[in-house]
Structure 1
Amino acid sequence: MLDKIKLKNFKKFKEIEISFNKHRNILIGENGVGKSTILEAISLILSGSYSRIESLGVDSLLNVEAVSDFMKSDRSISKLPELIAELYFSDYDGPNPFLLNGKNNTDRTERFGLQLKILPNSEMFGMQIQELLLSESPTFPFDYYKVEFYSFANKSYSSFRKIHNLGFDVIDTSLLKQSYAIKRFVSQSFHSQAANSANEISQEFRQISDDFSKSLYDPDRYKFSDKEKYRLKIKTKSASQFEDILTVHKDNIEIDNMGLGERVLLSIEASLSIQNKTSNIVLIEEPENHLSYLNTKKLVDLIENNTNAKQTFIATHDNMIASRLNLRNVIMIGENKTANLNKLTPATADFFAKAPNSNVLNFILSKNVILLEGDAEYILLEKFYEMTKNKPAFQNDVAIISCSGLTFKRYLEIAKDMDKKVAVIRDNDGDYEKNIVKNYEDYISENIQLFSDCDDNHWTFEVCLYDDNNDFYETEFRKYCGISKKSVLEYMIGDKNKKSSKGHKSESAFSLLKMLESDTDFAKSYVIPDYINKAIEWIK
């Protein structure tokens, strides 16, 4: 299986090294950070396809910054940038392993692996390159670059002359409308269902086709003229002839007429179900595209129950896919850097796999986060932030995420090993020293801070709001909400001494939000609790 990839000057990556998990790899990151590039690099190296690189173009593969830096330099041929992409294998049990094992890699260690290089062809085109670079309007010599595929044993290979048995499938949901993608799925289904009988079936089809061609000129069956110079015959030369006329039906609906979501599931199911080793690596590009919530759950179940020991690489933005397939498999892709979550405790990974409404992927992808413990806080905090900073939180790259108090430590475990600033806003529940200071002392750091009212009498969010804005709540808020007999605070949080009295926390927060949004005077005079102001100031 693939152990790691190293890229130098490959598309947006100047230099990056990513270690892989043995079975499942979930690549996450913001748009444009290079998740798809990683999948493309893997497929290019394994394919050994010169034609694919030619169709993509050297100019689209070579790092733009490296090209720009070179053109700003003295433009010496010896300094022309090279693209290097390497796949290191953790093991290899295929035929002729000696063809892949060696030190022809940038680590200079003896490993199994493959290397793609795109470099200037100075030996053949040195003069032409020199002329381009020294001209009055110098241009970069993309057209004078060459492509090389070599194993770590320094043995060349190509798509026509492979020296390894690592096959791969690429499932790109953006291409599922195209006819060749459907044809590919049908072919996968055929080989999956036919198991080891594919060649036998194709041969029998060839014989049937040949017999039928002969029967066309049987005078006892058809009225074909047998005196013509040119005789008709079914083509049977292609080894894939039988596959070319196959299609797939599900519940009597042909695949061409199925929805895109159904095609996504069928494509992934076919790739994962193939039993032989011709497709032991599966690359899946944003599988959540075109999938409903229930179909995404079906997709997760498909991947979870993959028993064919395939190594999967999944680029995704979906919370469910990332968390349900175990956060320890997550690899976060950033600007020329990565973060692997395989150090998470199994308990935390399992928690997020089972937790409802997980926002964990939003948390991982956000650089600055405010964590809250309730719906009321979540309803109001965006407005409080805007009142303090005169702009929404997202414009300052701050994410606001609501979770239960029991979940805070799970999120903070993820944050401890990441370059992430996290402010936790929570109630002191009547004991600031115990519930805040002692409870979180192992998590507090330069990048992680807890914010709570230190007065034990201000035990919950609503009490803090009420005590800082008493006149407002007893006059304007009471009138707005139609509170007559009971106290405003009891209406908001219920009777503290009665377990059955739950109050109206969310409804009160929503009413306050509408008042603050509709009347600028309320917004100007309303006092935001000090600990919340401190959290907002600290996070940005």
Structure 2
Amino acid sequence: MNQSFCHNQGMITRVKATNYRCFQQLDFEPNEHVNIIVGDNEAGKSTILEIIALVIGGRARGRWAVDDLNPYWFNQAIVKHYVEEHRSGQNPDLPLIDLEVYLSVNTPGSERLRGIHNSNGEDCPGLRMRIVPDPDRLEELAEYLRHENLPELIPTDLFMTDWRDFSGEKITRQPRGLGFATVNMNTVSNSSGVDYKLRQLLRDFVTPQESALIALEHRKARADITSGILGEVNNRIEAEGESFGVGLQMDQSANANWDVSVTPHIDDTPFSLLGHGRQVATKIALSMSRSAERTQFVLVEEPENHLSHTELMKVLDSIKSLSGGRQLFITTHSSFVLNRLGFDALHLMHNAQITPLAVGAISADTIKYFQRQSGYDTLRLAIAGKAVVVEGPSDEMIFNLAFQRLTGKDPRACGIDVIALGTRGKRALELAKALGKKIAVLRDNDGEDPSHWRTQAGDLIQSGQREMFIGDIAGGRTLEPQLFSANDETTLRDVLGLAADADVLDYMLKNKTESAWVISNSGQQLNWPTYIIDAVAFANVN
């Protein structure tokens, strides 16, 4: 694991979920320090962060779970299956939601949470939230279930949240001493839209004594306004007659607490009027600046959103330098974020299943390489169903064209991502091996026999799974002479629109990308070098 992050004082050891949103079953064992969760849209990345926040803090998106509970919390495939069985006259068990967060015994604030009341029967600290039928409304639920044609929705108005620690004790608030910070990349455009978590971050800097004093002064100020200037207004309203006792008062309810009325500012500018990038960077800085004793866990959702490249570099450096003993959970669509924070921290999400990178699967040298070459498209390679890695844009265009001509299909339609990664095919093979990905690497022979490059790759090559395709020396060092050798010179001259006295191969070598572009758009049938034909055949096999 990335050594730039300090030893963790306590950690989440496991996250389990049953029937929650996209997860029918989730069993996630995070890394001790950094966890970078990647995957396609709707794969379940953000839902993992939501589960952690919900089970530890009792809130979903800033709202108490009991207030936010709705039918769409339940996994829709499970609900559909239940309803189909019910309609067919069977008596299936109602789907229930079960969420658990397991903690290490050295986690501050977890001593009182230890017990065996978890689905594993394990003696450890932790928290569990279940969504179950409300015992006070079982008769209503039974009557509802007597109907034959139920809608494909769970009647959550008849359900309740059962929130307990692993000792079996019910809890109603986030356990004291067990802290986490959630940083989403949402931005706000008005003061009322400042999200709950930002207010919570700021309020944590206020001591209980200061909070009580602020609340007192705030109530007194509202009372003074009510009895003062509003008193005069109310007298005029009453004097008009037929007012039915209506008057104006400052709101003294919980909706008018001081922390709702106080608006965050930076350099005298309201937070809501800051640029999106500044808002995002500020929220992350506030989360990371708090002491590790108060925030053992930090949940960051897509830190790249709204940030320029320069600002993103600053934010990532801040995360690394201020992480302290925290355990980090980060979702991202950015290879830069993944490489910068450490590819060895990757967890790949696909179809609501999570696959961690095996310990030691990536060499320390490659991890450092990615961190220094942060533009390497590791995330695209990680998410691809099947990958074909080529050296440059001309190779990419020619392979795509050859695939279309030889198979009648576009590579993308077959779940194949063709990626140009320069001369770093061996790094790509290492990643593919670690991720269990099928990959074809095409590279120039550069004057060496193909066996030379395959020998260098060693056990990174696996027949039928990870292959390297290289043109024979007789065909030339690079793609262009390989194409030239496989085709009639007159045909290439016509395709490229060259004069009769032009040197076709010289033109192709000096104009690689332009030549590939013209060939790709010509509609002319060409012969393909053997190594490209072999690569197409390999990639096209399911």
**Short-chain TM bin:** 0.7 to 0.9
> Alignment identity in percent?
22
SS at match of 2:162: strand
SS at match of 2:528: coil
SS at match of 2:459: coil
Aligned partner of 1:269: which letter? A
Residue in structure 2 matching 1:136, options 148, 154, 157: 148
Structure 1 pair 455–103 and aligned structure 2 pair: CA distance change class (3 A): same
2:518 equivalent in structure 1: 514
Per-residue CA distance 1:239-260 (angstroms, 9 max, x = gap) = 963783353124x544222111
Structure 1 pair 313–180 and aligned structure 2 pair: CA distance change class (3 A): farther
Answer yes or no: is the 8 Å Cα contact 2:33–2:326 preserved in 1. Answer: yes
- Say whether residues 1:331 and 2:347 are aligned partners: yes
- Say whether residues 1:66 and 2:84 are aligned partners: no
Instruction: Work out the CA distance in 1 between the residues paired with 2:136 and 2:252.
Output: 44
Instruction: Work out the CA distance in 2 between the residues paired with 1:132 and 1:237.
Output: 37
- Say whether residues 1:348 and 2:358 are aligned partners: no
- Say whether residues 1:370 and 2:388 are aligned partners: yes
Aligned partner of 1:513: which letter? W
Return 5+ residue gaps in structure 2 as ranges: 1-10, 236-247
- Say whether residues 1:53 and 2:65 are aligned partners: yes
- Say whether residues 1:105 and 2:118 are aligned partners: yes
Structure 1 pair 356–483 and aligned structure 2 pair: CA distance change class (3 A): farther
Answer yes or no: is the 8 Å Cα contact 1:427–1:453 preserved in 2. Answer: yes
Aligned partner of 1:8: which letter? T
TM-score normalised according to structure 2 size: 0.82
1:410 equivalent in structure 2: 427
Aligned partner of 1:333: which letter? M
What aligned pairs does 1:83-122 form with structure 2 within 5 A after superposition? 83-95=97-109, 97=111, 99-121=112-134
Return 5+ residue gaps in structure 1 as ranges: 494-503
Instruction: Work out the CA distance in 2 between the residues paired with 1:275 and 1:394.
Output: 47
Kindly state the Cα deviation for residue 150 of structure 1 after the two structures are TM-superposed: 1.2
Structure 1 pair 235–331 and aligned structure 2 pair: CA distance change class (3 A): same
Kindly state the Cα deviation for residue 157 of structure 1 after the two structures are TM-superposed: 0.5
- Say whether residues 1:422 and 2:439 are aligned partners: yes
SS at match of 1:17: strand
TM-score normalised according to structure 1 size: 0.82
2:300 equivalent in structure 1: 284
Instruction: Work out the CA distance in 1 between the residues paired with 2:442 and 2:343.
Output: 24
Structure 1 pair 469–273 and aligned structure 2 pair: CA distance change class (3 A): same
Answer yes or no: is the 8 Å Cα contact 2:386–2:539 preserved in 1. Answer: yes
Structure 1 pair 534–277 and aligned structure 2 pair: CA distance change class (3 A): same
1:358 equivalent in structure 2: 376
- Say whether residues 1:35 and 2:45 are aligned partners: yes
Aligned partner of 2:329: which letter? F
Structure 1 pair 40–95 and aligned structure 2 pair: CA distance change class (3 A): closer
Residue in structure 2 matching 1:179, options 191, 214, 221: 191
How well do the aligned residues superpose, as a CA RMSD in angstroms?
A: 3.6
SS at match of 1:513: helix
2:19 equivalent in structure 1: 9
Kindly state the Cα deviation for residue 456 of structure 1 after the two structures are TM-superposed: 4.8
2:54 equivalent in structure 1: 44
Per-residue CA distance 1:85-124 (angstroms, 9 max, x = gap) = 1101123443571x31111111111111111111234x55
- Say whether residues 1:265 and 2:281 are aligned partners: yes
SS at match of 2:329: strand
Kindly state the Cα deviation for residue 178 of structure 1 after the two structures are TM-superposed: 5.6
Residue in structure 1 matching 2:30, options 3, 20, 43: 20
Number of residues paired by the alignment?
507
Instruction: Work out the CA distance in 1 between the residues paired with 2:413 and 2:477.
Output: 31
Residue in structure 1 matching 2:171, options 150, 154, 157: 157
Instruction: Work out the CA distance in 2 between the residues paired with 1:147 and 1:108.
Output: 21
Deviates most, 340-349 or 45-54: 45-54
Instruction: Work out the CA distance in 1 between the residues paired with 2:91 and 2:444.
Output: 64
Structure 1 pair 484–182 and aligned structure 2 pair: CA distance change class (3 A): farther
Kindly state the Cα deviation for residue 137 of structure 1 after the two structures are TM-superposed: 2.0
Structure 1 pair 336–355 and aligned structure 2 pair: CA distance change class (3 A): same
Answer yes or no: is the 8 Å Cα contact 2:110–2:178 preserved in 1. Answer: no
Higher RCO structure (Cα 8 Å, ≥6 apart): 2
Kindly state the Cα deviation for residue 125 of structure 1 after the two structures are TM-superposed: 4.4
What aligned pairs does 1:182-331 form with structure 2 within 5 A after superposition? 182=194, 187=199, 190=202, 199-200=209-210, 203=213, 241=258, 244-250=261-267, 253-275=269-291, 277-331=293-347
2:407 equivalent in structure 1: 389
Aligned partner of 2:165: which letter? S
Per-residue CA distance 1:168-199 (angstroms, 9 max, x = gap) = 2322223534635536577467557xx57674
Kindly state the Cα deviation for residue 529 of structure 1 after the two structures are TM-superposed: 1.4
Instruction: Work out the CA distance in 1 between the residues paired with 2:133 and 2:263.
Output: 45
Kindly state the Cα deviation for residue 148 of structure 1 after the two structures are TM-superposed: 0.6
SS at match of 2:338: helix
1:443 equivalent in structure 2: 460
Aligned partner of 2:527: which letter? V
Kindly state the Cα deviation for residue 27 of structure 1 after the two structures are TM-superposed: 1.1
- Say whether residues 1:537 and 2:517 are aligned partners: no
SS at match of 1:44: helix
Deviates most, 36-45 or 46-55: 46-55
Per-residue CA distance 1:496-535 (angstroms, 9 max, x = gap) = xxxxxxxx2xx23323422441x32x2x2x1121211221
SS at match of 2:457: coil
